[in-house]
Amino acid sequence: MQAIRSILFAIFTVLLLSPITSGCKTKSAIQTADTTSKDGYNVILKMDDMKDSLVIMGNYWADRSVAFDTGYYNKKKKQWVFEGEEKAPRGIYFLIFEDRSMMEFLMNDDQNFTILGDTADNYTKNLRFEGSDENNRYADYKRKSMYYGKKIISLNTQIAAMSPGDAQNEKVEERKEVFGERIAFMKGFIKDNPNDIFTSFITAIKPIDVPKISKENGTTDTLGQYHYYKNHYWDNFNFSEDGLVRTPEKMIFNKINGFFMSVLPQHPDTAIVHAEALLAQTKGHKELDKYFIFRITQIYDTISLMCMDRVFVHMVDKYYLGDRAYWIDSATRERMRTAADKKRYSACGATALDLNFYDFDSVPHRLYDNMGTKYTIIAFYDPTCGHCKKEMPILHELYSRKKTEGMKVYAISAMNKKKEWKKYILEENPTWKDWRNVCDIVPYRIWVDNREKYNIYANPTLIVLNSKGEVIAKKIPAKNIEPFLEQYEKLQNKP
């Protein structure tokens, strides 16, 4: 799991930092001519009260900040130059100064402009742009937001210091008016500038307004409200704006996480259906498509909920092994294939691969010769493992009650603990001989390596099969098997 996480991050680190190594001119090239790049980006910075110092350009990327370029200071013109031969990706960028202060600006398709100003009010008071109307609108928005923020903070302080009464009530009303003005200003900005990157950002973080939905008896229909929220979760998200990948406050990271980990029911089929619906909307929008594929795949590689790794297998098969993951090379594609294969053979819904192991008397026993008429539990365990010694008695107690109802257990001990296994069963738990106890692999059989395909990396691991040999639960605690099967049967018996 950690290895695939590293693979995914490595893929994107190379892509994110590539402008520094391939898109930017060297300092010597910039020093000879601060020219405007027609095909790439050319950003000039002039700060009235700043001298030669290190300035780094970066951008937001999902849940992190990424260095993008380092400015060259032209002493003659007293300005910093950021220039690259290729277009910079759209989004919200920032400049970081030596004192660790920073200022933000937008990078749209017009990437030749000059930033002018000083350090007053955290760079916002006198900030202006030559050659970028969208950035000037963004600067005006930040100044206005700062004005409302300061006013509200001042009113809050005054209200807190006042005793209840008419004077305090007047201040409360004044604060309401300021809140109203701020909301009206934001709505006006969105209406007047629908195509701006920042408009897409503030719209995307706008909460979904869930209407009141009532049942026939007049009570609130909370289930109806949930479905409304789920169905309208992405209403405010502009799927045609690639710049949303590079916006602050971890917006897109939190948006995707919230949907798949909190809003959706945790069922693999549900996750796959909604992933497909979203990726149908991101298709054709290079940056959004790349990030949505990456993040959804990563969620289901690392999620610990039972059966959800089937989503990971689906994402790898369709996107990483297909033609949508254009950013990976052939070696990475093969590593992703291997990672999916480790999960696919024991994923919920998969037909369990056969196994063949020796018992105490060196007699081989195939899994499929030891199947229950209703359920079979494959129990991988280590006889010296403390947690196993807690789980296995619980499993045997369940088996003792259910074996006459069509349940069987195929218990596989760790192969390097054969001596300990014999003692654990024959001496310490002799009643456990009523289920199938096996340990060593039977050599020279086609299913010899199938144990590895079950991807067992922790003991104990319990896998539940139905009568067809299909995996219906995995990595489930022994105490949860019975209630799980009760719920499973209810769902199976639904008309």
The string of pLDDT tens digits covering residues 136-158 is 999 999 999 999 999 999 999 99
Closest CA to 282 of 328, 228, 226, 325: 325
More confident position, 491 or 313: 313
Hey, where are the domains in the chain?
Answer: 2-131, 222-344, 356-492
CATH number for the domain whose boundaries are 356-492: 3.40.30.10
Question: Residues 484, 464: contact at Cβ < 8 Å?
Answer: yes
Predicted confidence (pLDDT) per residue in 439-480, tens digit: 876 555 544 557 788 888 889 999 999 999 999 999 999 999
One fold for 2-131 and 356-492: no
Rounded distance between C-alpha atoms, residue 337 and residue 339, angstroms: 5
Q: Encode pLDDT of 365-400 as tens digits.
A: 999 999 999 999 999 999 999 999 999 999 999 999
Q: How confident is the model at residue 414 (pLDDT cuts 50, 70, 90)?
A: confident
Q: 3-class secondary structure for 395-457?
A: HHHHHHHHHHHCEEEEEEECHHHHHHHHHHHHHHCHHHHHCEEECCECCCCCCCCHHHHCCCC
Q: For residues 63 and 250, is the Cβ–Cβ distance under 8 A?
A: yes
Mean pLDDT (the chain) is 90
d(CA 294, CA 300): 10
> What's the CA gap between 48 and 65, in Å, rounded?
27
What is the DSSP secondary-structure string of 121-179? Answer: TTTTTT-EEES-HHHHHHHHHHHHHHHHHHHHHHHHHHHHHSPSSHHHHHHHHHHHHHH
1 burial type by CB count under 10 A (0-12 exposed, 13-18 middle, 19+ buried) = middle
> Which residue carries 């790439």 as its tokens?
40
Task: Provide Rg for the chain, Cα atoms.
Answer: 30
C-alpha 167/C-alpha 348 separation (Å) is 65
CATH number of 2-131: 2.60.40
- Residue 273 is classified by DSSP as H
Tokens of 371: 């199947």
Predicted confidence (pLDDT) per residue in 30-50, tens digit: 333 444 456 899 999 999 988
Residue 471 contacts residue 463 (beta carbons within 8 Å): yes
Let me know the angle formed at the C-alpha of 149 by 148 and 154, rounded to the nearest 5 degrees: 100
Residues 6+ apart with CB under 8 A from 29: none
* Three-state SS sequence of 324-357: CCCCCCHHHHHHHHHHHHHHHCCCCCCECCCCEE
User: Per residue in 332-375, pLDDT tens?
Assistant: 999 999 999 989 998 999 999 999 888 998 888 999 999 999 99
**pLDDT at site 362:** 86
pTM for this structure?
0.84
